Amino acid sequence: MSIQVSPSPIPNSNAVSLTSTLLDRDDYLTGLLNQVTVTKTAGWLQELRQSAANWVRHSIIPTTREEEWRFTDLSSLRKVQFNLETGNFASLKFDILPEAANSRLVFVNGVFAPELSAVSDLPSGVVVSNLAGLSAVEQEGVRQYLAQAEGAQEVFTALNTAGITDAAVVWVKKNVVVETLIHLVFVSVVGQTATISQPRCLVVAEGGSQVRLVEEYTNRQGAESAEEEGVYFTNAVTEVWVGDNAEVSHTRVEREGAEAFHIGKTAIAQARDSRYTCHAITLGAKLSRHNLEVLQTGEQTETTLNGLTVISGKQLSDTHSAIALNYPHGTSDQLHKCIVGDRAHAVFNGKVLVPKPAQLTNAAQLNRNLLLSSKARVDTKPQLEITADNVKCAHGATVSQLEDDEIFYLQSRGIDENDARKLLINAFAAEVINKIPVPSLREILLNTVNNLKSLTND
C-alpha cells in the first residue's frame, strides 16, 4: 500500500474510482446500505448522503488481504444480518458524570433521546445539540464541516455518511472558554434481532476557544449475560475541527457489549497553534476497530494521543492511527498501551507522516503491551515516514508479561498472588487513565479494570 502525503495525507485503504462501471460489488455491503438509507432527508443533507452512498456502492468490505486490515478479519461480521432498531427507551441506565450532569447529549441506537439529555448548564457562545435541533443558520454552518474531513471515502465512513439522519453537534464560538464538561453518550439497545446504529458527531472549536468533552459508547446496563446483551453493530464517525489557537481535550470511551461489533473513525483537523488531546479507552466489544486520524493544517500544532486497550476472552481490538504533520514546528506525543488476557488479540498500527515541508517537527510514539497469558496475542507496528531532514522523531514498542520477581516481592509483603497481579495490572493501566481530566470517569475506569476477573487468571 502506498501512503500519499499530499494532497491527501491520511491513509485510505478503500478508495475507489467512481469512473468504474461496477456497482453493488459487495452484496452484504449493499444490504447494509439499504438498511441505513431507508429514512430519507431533504436538501443538502440528502445530497451529501447520496454522494456517500455512491462511494459505498463502488466499494467492498475490507478483507485480510489488504494491508490495513490484515490482522482484523471481518468475516464474523458478514455472517450477521443487521436491522435498524428504534423505540422509546426513557428508562435506560447509564453512568451520568457529575461534571456533566446538565451538559450531555444522549443518543439511543443513533437516535437522539431528548428525555435523557440535559444541556441547561452551558455558557453563551457554545451550541450543544442534535443536528435536527439547530436553526437554519446553524445548520448552514454545519454544512461547511460535516463529512468534509480527509478519508471520507473509506468504506465504513461513507456508509455512516450515507445513513445520516441526525448527529451530535458541539460548536464553540471564537475565544469562548467552556469550563463545563460536555458528555456525548451513545447507547445501543438490542431488540429481537441484531441491530445496526451509526452515531455521528461533529465538533467545531473556533479560533481561541477551549472545550473538554467525553464521547462514550456503551450498551444497555443491567443485562445479566452476553446473550441478553445481544449482537449489534456500531459504526461511528466523529469529526473534530480545531481552529487557530484553539484547544480541545477529547476523551473517547468504548464500553460496548460482549457480542458487539464496533468500528469507529475519529478525524481531527488542527489549524495553526492549536492543541488537541485525545484519551482513547477501549474495553468492550467482541471485535472493535478505531481509526484515529490527525491532519495538521497549520504550523506549530500540539497533538497528544493517549490510548489504552484492555481486552480478554476472545476479543479482538484494533487501533490504527495516522498523524500527518505537514507544516513546521509541529509537536506530537503518542502513548498507546494494551493489556491482553486469555485468548484475546490486540492490534496497534501507528503512522507518523513527516514530509519535507514539516521541518523542526518533534514527534514521539510508544506502544507498550502487557500479555497476561500464553495464548494472548499482540501485533504492533509503530511507523515513522520522514522525508524532512531537520526533525526530532522517535518511536518504539515493547511486549512483556508480569514479572515473577515483582509478584514475589509483593507476596513477601503479605499480598496474595491474585491481588499482586491486580496491583501490577492496575498500575500499568493507570498511567493512561490518570491523564484523563475527569475525576469521576477516572474512578469508573479504574474500578472497571480492577473488577475484570479474567485479567488476573492465566
Band the pLDDT of 14: cuts 50, 70, 90: very low
What is the C-alpha to C-alpha distance for residues 322 and 346, in angstroms, rounded to an integer? Answer: 17
pLDDT at 190: 84
Length of the chain: 458
What is the C-alpha to C-alpha distance for residues 270 and 279, in angstroms, rounded to an integer? Answer: 17
pLDDT tops 90 at residue 6 = no
> DSSP letters along 269-323, please?
EE-TT-EEEEEEEE---SEEEEEEEEEE-SSS-EEEEEEEEEE-TT-EEEEEEEE
Give the number of C-alpha atoms closer than 13 A to the C-alpha of residue 359, restricted to the C-beta side.
3
pLDDT tops 80 at residue 456 = no
pLDDT digits (tens, 9 = 90+) for 74-94: 999 999 999 987 665 666 878
Q: Which of 12-21, 265-274, 295-304, 329-338 is predicted with the least confidence, judged by mean pLDDT?
A: 12-21
Q: Give me the chain's average pLDDT, please.
A: 91
User: Do residues 331 and 291 make contact, with C-beta atoms less than 8 angstroms apart?
Assistant: no
What is the C-alpha to C-alpha distance for residues 236 and 157, in angstroms, rounded to an integer? Answer: 8
pLDDT at 42: 80
Q: What is the CA radius of gyration of the chain?
A: 21
3-state SS assignment for residue 184: strand
pLDDT tops 60 at residue 151 = yes
> DSSP letters along 12-44, please?
-TT---TT-------HHHHHHHHHHTSS---HH
Q: Which residues contact 81 (CB under 8 A, 6 or more apart)?
A: 31, 193, 194
For residue 362, give the H/E element and its range: strand 362-371
At 234, phi and psi to the nearest 5? -105, 120
Neighbouring-strand partners of residue 127? 171
Band the pLDDT of 33: cuts 50, 70, 90: very high
pLDDT at 13: 43
User: Which residue, 331, 385, 394, is CA-closest to 361?
Assistant: 331
pLDDT tops 60 at residue 158 = yes
Q: Which residue has cell 531532514?
A: 389
pLDDT digits (tens, 9 = 90+) for 277-290: 999 999 999 999 99
User: Do residues 327 and 350 make contact, with C-beta atoms less than 8 angstroms apart?
Assistant: no
pLDDT digits (tens, 9 = 90+) for 389-415: 999 999 999 999 999 999 999 999 999
Chain centroid, CA 385 distance in Å: 23
User: Do residues 403 and 417 make contact, with C-beta atoms less than 8 angstroms apart?
Assistant: no
At 56, phi and psi to the nearest 5? -60, -40
pLDDT digits (tens, 9 = 90+) for 42-67: 899 999 999 999 999 999 999 999 99
Band the pLDDT of 3: cuts 50, 70, 90: very low
Band the pLDDT of 1: cuts 50, 70, 90: very low
What is the C-alpha to C-alpha distance for residues 303 and 323, in angstroms, rounded to an integer? Answer: 9
Between strands 168-172 and 126-130, the pairing is antiparallel
User: Which residue, 394, 324, 393, 382, is CA-closest to 353?
Assistant: 324
pLDDT tops 60 at residue 239 = yes
Residue 81 is placed in which grid cell? 444480518
User: Do residues 365 and 350 make contact, with C-beta atoms less than 8 angstroms apart?
Assistant: yes
Q: Which residue has cell 449475560?
A: 225
pLDDT tops 50 at residue 5 = no
Residue 42 is placed in which grid cell? 431533504
**Secondary structure E strands in 52-192:** 104-108, 111-112, 126-130, 168-172, 182-188
User: Which residue, 213, 206, 203, 202, is CA-closest to 175?
Assistant: 206
